[in-house]
């Protein structure tokens, strides 16, 4: 039961004083200048520090790839981050996307992201490529779903734009004198960003293997040279990551394998079910190999989404009826009875009724 306050009631003086202190505390510790003090690296979470940052530099890094360096318009320090972190970027159109931080974690005054333009994508990358120096972007974060762990040695495998979260890890290994090896794959050298920066990293071994020089890579041969017990980080197209996991599970069960992907996970063990959109008064069938989000967007094309991997929370939807097969990495136990992330979660039975 909730209380209703009416009339001209005023809380007692001690309560008003405490409320004033709490308001002052929140103002002080969510300001840009102090936000970084509280932004220690944490597991994935939906909320973070919301900021409006200015594009300080726009650099063409490779074919169809630009980097954007972001700074506070006031010159304030930014929240700290560790290699593997990403930020949510809110585009002028309203789209929300995640991009890995690929700059120097030691810098407290700027973030850098890199974006490959996807001509036949959904428009997010094209929109970012149209931005110019001086434009403002709203961002949230940093967050980390690709944690850089402590290990005796490291093997990195990056495919194309998958180099973005890997570059700060290689840089960190070079700074700390840790043994590392990077296998960098791509169509051609002209399409592979940050080659110059990687070549300046010391203490490890860099292998640049563009397809037009070496042919299609055979990971079986490349991965067998990983040191026993190494931490292996793989980022790139889904076939690359699936191959790396398969090879390593057969050749070195002691290796810890960490992957990050830029595309939706394929549906595993799915079965068809039906979704009723209560407010819209419509029903849509969900195929065994498609997500609930994809099916919903056939009738509600404006439905918000972002990561499509179950960690950002953009597609969180209230469930009015039906049992949920939760496959996300975000919701708390208290949320799981009544909400779902439609990008990955499904129905345990034949039907779900959603508040859409």
Sign of CA dihedral 140, 141, 144, 148: positive
Q: In the chain, what percentage of residues exceed pLDDT 90? A: 59
For residue 31, what pLDDT is reported? 41
Highest mean pLDDT among 1-5, 115-119, 143-147, 258-262: 115-119
Average pLDDT estimate for 216-245: 79
Residue 93 lies in a domain: yes
Residue 183 lies in a domain: yes
For residue 145, what pLDDT is reported? 79
Residue 291 lies in a domain: yes
Residue 109 lies in a domain: yes
For residue 263, what pLDDT is reported? 63
* Better-scored residue on pLDDT, 255 or 116: 116
Q: Write down which residue in 199, 232, 260 finishes a domain.
A: 260
Residue 256 lies in a domain: yes
5-14, 192-201, 258-267: which has the minimum mean pLDDT? 5-14
For residue 81, what pLDDT is reported? 95
Q: Domain residues for 126?
A: 49-144
Q: Could you give the number of structural domains in the chain?
A: 3
Residue 347 lies in a domain: yes
- Express each pLDDT in 20-76 by its tens digit: 444 443 344 334 443 443 333 333 444 458 899 999 999 999 999 999 999 999 999
For residue 22, what pLDDT is reported? 40
Shared-domain flag, residues 187 and 239 = yes
In whole angstroms, give the CA distance from residue 303 to residue 341: 12
Distance, C-alpha 214 to centroid of its chain: 31
Domain CATH number, residue 102 = 2.40.30.10
What pTM, to 2 d.p., does this model score?
A: 0.71
Shared-domain flag, residues 139 and 165 = no
For residue 216, what pLDDT is reported? 84
pLDDT category at 217 given cuts 50, 70, 90 is confident
- Express each pLDDT in 132-148 by its tens digit: 999 999 999 898 878 89
Shared-domain flag, residues 172 and 240 = yes
Average pLDDT estimate for 260-285: 88
Q: Write down which residue in 228, 260, 292 finishes a domain.
A: 260
Average pLDDT estimate for 180-184: 95
1-10, 167-176, 201-210, 222-231: which has the minimum mean pLDDT? 1-10
Q: Which residues contact 204 (CB under 8 A, 6 or more apart)?
A: 154, 170, 173, 174, 179, 180, 181, 182
């Amino acid at each position: 039961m909730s209380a209703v306050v009416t009339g001209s009631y005023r809380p007692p003086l001690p309560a008003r004083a405490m409320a004033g202190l709490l308001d002052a505390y929140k103002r002080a510790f969510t300001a840009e200048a102090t936000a970084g003090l509280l932004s220690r690296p944490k597991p994935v979470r939906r909320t973070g520090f919301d900021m409006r940052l200015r594009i300080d530099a726009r650099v063409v890094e490779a074919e169809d790839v630009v980097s954007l360096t972001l700074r506070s318009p006031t010159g304030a320090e930014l929240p700290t981050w560790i290699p593997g972190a990403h930020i949510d970027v809110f585009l002028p159109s309203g789209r929300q996307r995640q991009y890995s931080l690929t700059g120097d974690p030691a810098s407290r005054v700027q973030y850098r992201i890199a974006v490959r333009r996807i001509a036949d994508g959904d428009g997010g990358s094209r929109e970012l490529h149209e931005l110019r120096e001086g434009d403002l972007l709203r961002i949230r974060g940093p967050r980390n779903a690709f944690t850089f762990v402590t290990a005796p040695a490291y093997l990195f495998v990056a495919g194309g734009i998958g180099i973005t979260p890997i570059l700060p890890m290689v840089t960190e290994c070079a700074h700390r004198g840790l043994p590392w090896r990077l296998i960098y794959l791509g169509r051609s050298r002209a399409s592979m960003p940050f080659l110059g920066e990687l070549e300046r990293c010391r203490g490890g071994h860099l292998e640049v293997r563009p397809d037009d020089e070496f042919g299609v890579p055979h990971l079986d041969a490349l991965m067998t040279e990983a040191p026993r017990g190494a931490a292996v980080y793989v980022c790139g197209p889904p076939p690359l990551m699936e191959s790396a996991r398969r090879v390593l599970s057969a050749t070195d069960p002691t290796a810890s394998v960490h992957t990050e992907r830029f595309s939706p996970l394929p549906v595993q063990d799915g079965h068809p079910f039906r979704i009723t959109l209560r407010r819209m008064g419509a029903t849509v069938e969900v195929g065994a190999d498609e997500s609930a989000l994809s099916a919903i967007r056939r009738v509600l094309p404006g439905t918000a989404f972002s990561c499509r991997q179950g960690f950002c929370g953009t597609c969180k939807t209230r469930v009015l009826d039906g049992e949920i097969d939760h496959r996300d990495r975000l919701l708390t136990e208290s949320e799981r009875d009544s909400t779902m992330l439609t990008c990955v979660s499904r129905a345990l039975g034949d039907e779900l009724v959603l508040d859409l």
